[in-house]
């Protein structure tokens, strides 16, 4: 068993850290809002720290699941950041979805200090974190990944190294690009069924068994039909992720016309007051056009 620090106890990090503690790892948590860390310790045991540096001291692995590029930089290299407390030979595993540029910057910073850095963004949503069935896509040195994989397996159903530093983040971008188009297509199909006077549930029962079937259809169609969007990955966070995808596409020369369009549709959802609705709320935009 390892000594692990976990930085960031949001809807994903909170259960992920809990799984590590339940598996027998020695876990110390840090959260910017200390009351969340206090609640986690009360529920799971373990220990809490007041700074990332304090949490990272003596840890074999430091896992992070925070909000964005700036948040990650703060917990890594900011004042009292984790890098200043990590020992030579320790491994930092970043589960945040951030830009590949920041990932490579932190990888290089870690190299100068003898710290391994693995970018390991996650997919599967809150339910995946709670049920320990996340998909984890990783970038970084093979040796660092091999060391960290047994720890990550505690809360994943698949964990795979895709390539060198930044490859995990690039793969997460592929994930978000694919989801954006799928959710828009599902929204249009359900909206069309409603306008045509069809029973949406009967429609999905049939088409989900054929080529149109998807995870989004199986897990979101009922709540979409019921106009319920208070769960899952928020629109605000999806727009952050799609912004990273579009910026990176400009750098690489990739063409993402559908992704760019769906990003603007999510902007419309935000204007409807849906920034905290989950991503399946694209159908709300279509209904608002009626």
Asked if residue 175 lies in contact with residue 134, where contact means CB atoms within 8 angstroms, the answer is: no
Asked if residue 9 lies in contact with residue 17, where contact means CB atoms within 8 angstroms, the answer is: yes
> In angstroms, rounded to a whole number, what is the distance separating the alpha carbons of residues 205 and 197?
16
And the tokens for 44? 């799971």
φ and ψ at 4, to 5 degrees? -125, 135
DSSP string covering 171-222, please? HHHHHHHHHHHHHHHHHHHHHHHHHTT--HHHHHHHHTTTTT--HHHHHHHH
Residue 146 has pLDDT above 80, yes or no: yes
> In angstroms, rounded to a whole number, what is the distance separating the alpha carbons of residues 67 and 4?
20
And the tokens for 261? 């369009």
H-type alpha helices, the chain: 13-22, 34-44, 52-56, 69-77, 100-113, 125-130, 142-152, 167-195, 200-207, 215-225, 235-252, 257-271, 282-288
Query: What is the average pLDDT value for the chain, to the nearest integer?
Result: 97
Residue 9: per-residue pLDDT: 98
φ and ψ at 116, to 5 degrees? -80, 145
Strand, helix or coil at 264?
helix
- What is the average per-residue pLDDT within 26-52? 98
Residue 170: per-residue pLDDT: 97
Q: 139 has which bridge partners?
A: 119, 163
Residue 3 has pLDDT above 90, yes or no: yes
Domain residue extents for the chain: 3-164, 170-288
Query: 196-200, 230-234, 273-277: which range is least confident on average?
Result: 230-234
| Residues ≥6 apart with Cβ < 8 Å to 150 | none
The 10 Å Cβ neighbour count of residue 130 is: 18
Q: Quick: pLDDT tens for 188-216.
A: 999 999 999 999 999 999 999 999 999 99
% of residues, the chain, pLDDT over 70: 100
Active site residues: 172
Asked if residue 143 lies in contact with residue 91, where contact means CB atoms within 8 angstroms, the answer is: no
Residue 232 has pLDDT above 80, yes or no: no
Q: What is the CATH number of domain 3-164?
A: 3.40.50.720
Does CATH place domain 170-288 in 2.60.120.10? no
* Band of residue 280 on the pLDDT scale cut at 50, 70, 90: very high
Handedness of CA 187, 193, 195, 198 (dihedral sign): negative
Residue 92: per-residue pLDDT: 98
Strand, helix or coil at 157?
strand
């Amino acid at each position: 068993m390892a000594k692990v620090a976990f930085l960031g106890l949001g809807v994903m990090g909170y259960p992920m850290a809990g799984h590590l503690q339940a598996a027998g790892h020695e876990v110390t948590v840090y959260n910017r809002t200390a009351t969340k860390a206090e609640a986690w310790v009360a529920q799971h045991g373990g220990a809490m720290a007041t700074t990332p540096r304090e949490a990272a001291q003596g840890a074999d692995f430091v896992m992070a699941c925070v909000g964005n590029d700036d948040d990650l930089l703060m917990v890594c290299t900011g004042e009292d950041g984790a890098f200043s407390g990590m020992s030579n030979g320790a491994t930092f595993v970043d589960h945040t979805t951030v830009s590949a540029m920041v990932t490579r910057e932190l990888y290089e910073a870690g190299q100068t200090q003898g710290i391994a850095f693995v970018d390991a963004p996650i997919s599967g949503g809150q339910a995946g974190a709670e049920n320990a069935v996340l998909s984890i896509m990783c970038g970084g040195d093979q040796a660092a990944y091999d060391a960290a994989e047994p720890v990550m397996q505690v809360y994943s159903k698949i964990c795979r190294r895709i390539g060198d530093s930044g490859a995990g983040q690039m793969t997460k971008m592929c994930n978000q690009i694919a989801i954006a188009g799928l959710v828009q297509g599902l929204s249009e199909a359900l909206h069309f069924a409603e306008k045509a006077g069809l029973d949406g549930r009967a429609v999905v029962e049939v088409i989900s068994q054929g080529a149109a079937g998807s995870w989004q259809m199986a897990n979101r169609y009922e709540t979409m039909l019921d106009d319920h969007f208070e769960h899952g990955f928020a629109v605000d966070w999806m727009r952050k992720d799609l912004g990273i995808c579009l910026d990176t596409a400009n750098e690489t020369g990739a063409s993402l016309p559908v992704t760019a369009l769906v990003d603007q549709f999510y902007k419309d959802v935000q204007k409807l007051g849906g920034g905290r609705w989950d991503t399946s709320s694209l159908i709300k935009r279509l209904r608002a056009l009626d």
